[in-house]
Amino acid sequence: EVILEVKQLGKTYESAQGKVVALRDVNFSIHRRELVCVIGPSGCGKSTLIRMLAGLEPHTSGEVLLDGKPVDGPGSDRGMVFQGYTLFPWLTVKKNVMFGPEMNNHGKLEAERNALMWLDLVGLSKFADAYPHQLSGGMKQRVAIARALVNQPRILLMDEPFGALDAQTRIKMQTHLLDIWKNIDVTILFITHDLDEAIFLADRILVLKAHPGEVQEFIEVPVPRP
Ligand code: ADP
Ligand code: ADP
């Protein structure tokens, strides 16, 4: 079952300095329950790609189909986790996770129950009433993952989510993410510039070539599972 289809996708930025072709003719698809990593050097268009998939940035050519429907804006069918901790500092951990469902008009009690369930899944039930500044970096990213999953998105889009963590925490988080992924029905697109991370996590690695402006053919590398 194909979840995400990217066809001839392109992006040209127009700025005062002129046009920058960030991506051209990108094609790939992701199947249900796959964990796909996209790697490539800085400036090759990884963030542009994931922002377009998230609907946060319009594309200038081609199309993105999620469950066969064109993506043309943000939606709760996609969960996002970024590198920076995007938690609201004035809200408790639980309120941070509830923020999405409350906004989507679920009942408050149901939203709270849901939030606690996802916090349990990321191992942070005990910290439901803590504030973000009381948590370590890894714990904050676990909250961000819970918040991204609480709406049960079709796909989880992760942009260098562990890039700001120290090496040891990063490895713990990779293992933790794999545990979550094995336990729930979720498809993950994970961007990283760390090949070791991609090899550890991915079913399939898409390598984005280095030269913006050229045809951005993905080289697909299957990763054998031990
Ligand atoms: P990566 O995430 O792989 O480092 P980006 O998607 O950030 O790559 O950038 C791809 C290319 O697009 C780069 O050449 C970058 O300078 C350019 N770019 C990114 N964002 C903008 C923007 N808002 N305006 C103009 N050019 C941009
Ligand atoms: P992370 O790797 O998620 O950044 P660590 O596991 O290194 O966090 O823990 C940072 C601190 O938070 C440690 O003091 C640890 O004991 C505590 N901690 C982390 N997760 C939990 C948890 N689920 N319950 C209790 N304490 C925790």
Q: Can you tell me which atom of ligand 2 is nearest the CA of 141?
A: 3
Q: How many CB atoms lie within 10 A of CB 110?
A: 12
Q: Can you tell me which atom of ligand 2 is nearest the CA of 126?
A: 24
pLDDT of residue 125: 96
Mean pLDDT score of the chain: 90
The protein residue whose alpha carbon is closest to atom 27 in ligand 1 is 13
Smallest-distance ligand from the CA of 120: 2
Rounded to whole angstroms, the maximal C-alpha distance in the chain is: 52
- Roughly what angle, to the nearest 10 degrees, separates helices 137-149 and 93-103? 20
- The predicted-structure confidence for 56-102, as pLDDT tens digits, reads as follows 999 999 999 999 999 989 998 999 999 887 899 999 999 999 987 66
What is the CA(164)–ligand 1 centre distance, in A?
19
Residue 215: is its pLDDT beyond 70? no
**Mean pLDDT value across residues 188-208:** 92
pLDDT of residue 84: 84
ipTM of the complex: 0.71
Task: Give the separation between CA 24 and CA 125, rounded to whole angstroms.
Answer: 44
pLDDT of residue 41: 83
Residue 212: is its pLDDT beyond 80? no
pLDDT band at 219 (very low <50, low <70, confident <90, very high): low
Please, are residues 12 and 19 in contact by the beta-carbon 8 Å criterion? yes
Q: What is the reported pTM?
A: 0.88
Q: What is the 3-state secondary structure (H, E, C) of 43-79?
A: CCCHHHHHHHHHCCCCCCEEEEEECCEECCCCCCCEE
Max mean pLDDT among 16-25, 71-80, 131-140 falls in 131-140
Task: Give the separation between CA 217 and CA 25, rounded to whole angstroms.
Answer: 7
Q: 172 — phi, psi (to 5°)?
A: -60, -40
Q: Which two tokens stand for residue 49?
A: 């790609």
* Of 226 and 34, the one with more pLDDT: 34
Task: Give the separation between CA 121 and CA 147, rounded to whole angstroms.
Answer: 11
Q: Which two tokens stand for residue 73?
A: 């804006």
Q: 102 — phi, psi (to 5°)?
A: -65, -40
pLDDT of residue 226: 56
pLDDT band at 9 (very low <50, low <70, confident <90, very high): very high
pLDDT of residue 217: 57
Percent of the chain with pLDDT over 70: 89
Beta strands in the chain (DSSP E): 2-15, 18-31, 35-39, 61-66, 69-70, 78-81, 155-159, 187-191, 204-208, 218-222
- Judge residue 129's burial from the number of C-beta atoms within 10 Å of its C-beta, 0-12 exposed, 13-18 middle, 19 or more buried: exposed
Residue 214: is its pLDDT beyond 60? no
Q: Is the CB of 139 under 6 A from ligand 2?
A: yes
What is the CA(129)–ligand 2 centre distance, in A?
15
Please, are residues 159 and 191 in contact by the beta-carbon 8 Å criterion? yes
Cα 117–chain centre separation: 20
Residue 158: is its pLDDT beyond 90? yes
pLDDT band at 224 (very low <50, low <70, confident <90, very high): low
